[in-house]
Structure 1
Amino acid sequence: MDRVLWVVGLFVFWVAMIGLMYVGWRGRARRQADRVGELPTVPEDPGTQLLPATTGLYVGSTLAPSWQDRIAVGDLGHRADSELSRYEKGILLARAGASAIWIPRESIRAIRTERGLAGKVMTKDGVLVIRWELPTGTEVDTGFRGDDKSVYPHWVAPVPDGAPAPSPADGGTSAPSSTDNEDPTNASGSGEAPQNGEDA
């Protein structure tokens, strides 16, 4: 009998913890709703593709400059397998089982690599982070962990307008230094991510 009561008590405790987590997540979404607002829609014509699509994991988005203030509005908080592509008019993050995220070119503030984002910590420069401005004026960081991290330098490097960048197989592209200013929509790492964490 004591064993049964112990199991029942443990189950009730587990359910209560799940309930508290859900309530907390919903409360976070309500607090963030006005700052996040409506996301940009994917245009019918995104323009010329500038970078080849690369697969990976969408790790989440945060309210900048925090790397931990994870956005819970809509399905922005849902991690999902994704495909990241860059076009003349912006960046498309197509997510499996979730809505696509479109980042207009004029909204991009920086592209860098970090150790972690949205509570997910990986190896050094394990996450490609795109800082961009929502229509509400709020800046957010969107994180993508690529299956092939060798493509990161192509994303961090300046991309000429209307001209496709070389594919990863071509080589010869490296991440820009802090003095590279050819394209204001790209920037090197900011060092905001944690210094210690588990490997991806």
Structure 2
Amino acid sequence: MNRLGLTLLFLAVFALLVALMWWGYRNRRKRQADLPAFPAVPEGLLEQVRGGKTEPLLPPSTGVYASTVTDRSWQDRVAVGDVGFRADATAHLLPGGLLFDRTGATPVWIPAESVRAARTEAGIAGKVMGGGGLLVVRWAVGGHEFDTGFRADDKDDYDTWVPAIGALNPEVANGE
């Protein structure tokens, strides 16, 4: 086979793989069409946080928002909207909830009453670190549970963030 034939074969295989990935993602969106709308950031909160006009429970933590997945599997990335995509982010723990202010993407707001648990994990769809490299928050909305992963620049933050996030929802923290 000559160079032209090999190049065309490579391009055909590449195009087939891209088409299969697109098809799989499209089918995932169809399967997740029944997911509820995610909570919107309360009016004016994002501007207050960015302007330093709020009283956070902890200092902000910078890092990478890894993704949000369904509770079915740590690999079942949410394909509805852009919450399943990685982005640089700053996590803000506020009395009313947890805000991921993502660069180049919509912010993710997890209201305090939606929080179910916080823990460290080795990975989540879009980011595998090993050990306890990711902060993962389990939360619920509309009868569905989700896990949202965040890799902080300073892993020592996890020692204070995990219990503080868990304490956001007293009903869950008390085992009710």
* TM-score in terms of structure 2 length: 0.85
Q: CA deviation at 1:151?
A: 0.5
C-alpha separation in 1, matches of 2:115 and 2:165: 13
C-alpha separation in 2, matches of 1:111 and 1:160: 6
Secondary structure at the aligned position of 2:69 is classed as strand
Structure 1 33/12 Cα, relative in aligned 2: closer, same or farther at 3 Å? same
Q: CA deviation at 1:44?
A: 2.9
Alignment of structure 1 residues 38-49 onto 2, 5 Å: 38-44=37-43, 48-49=55-56
Q: CA deviation at 1:6?
A: 0.9
C-alpha separation in 1, matches of 2:165 and 2:86: 27
C-alpha separation in 2, matches of 1:158 and 1:38: 26
C-alpha separation in 2, matches of 1:9 and 1:159: 52
C-alpha separation in 1, matches of 2:111 and 2:159: 20
Unmatched runs of 5 consecutive residues or more in structure 1: 163-181, 188-200
Question: What is the letter of the counterpart of residue 38 of structure 1?
Answer: A
Deviates more, 1:86-95 or 1:45-54: 45-54
Match in the other structure for 2:98? 91
C-alpha separation in 2, matches of 1:26 and 1:144: 25
Question: What is the letter of the counterpart of residue 85 of structure 1?
Answer: H
Q: CA deviation at 1:16?
A: 1.3
Match in the other structure for 1:110? 117
Extract structure 1 runs of 4+ deviating beyond 4 A.
159-162, 182-187
C-alpha separation in 2, matches of 1:80 and 1:159: 21
Q: CA deviation at 1:183?
A: 4.5
Unmatched runs of 5 consecutive residues or more in structure 2: 46-53
Root mean square deviation of aligned Cα? 2.4
Match in the other structure for 1:54? 61
Match in the other structure for 2:11? 11
C-alpha separation in 2, matches of 1:129 and 1:18: 30
Determine what percentage of the aligned residue pairs are the same residue.
44
Matched residue count: 166
Q: CA deviation at 1:52?
A: 1.2
Q: CA deviation at 1:160?
A: 10
Q: CA deviation at 1:62?
A: 1.0
Q: CA deviation at 1:123?
A: 2.2
Question: What is the letter of the counterpart of residue 105 of structure 2?
Answer: A
* 2:71/2:145 contact within 8 Å kept: yes
Q: CA deviation at 1:54?
A: 0.7
Q: CA deviation at 1:75?
A: 0.6
* 2:166/2:173 contact within 8 Å kept: no
Q: CA deviation at 1:158?
A: 3.8
Match in the other structure for 1:133? 140
Match in the other structure for 1:192? none
Match in the other structure for 1:156? 162
C-alpha separation in 2, matches of 1:161 and 1:45: 24
Secondary structure at the aligned position of 1:143 is classed as strand
Match in the other structure for 2:151? 145
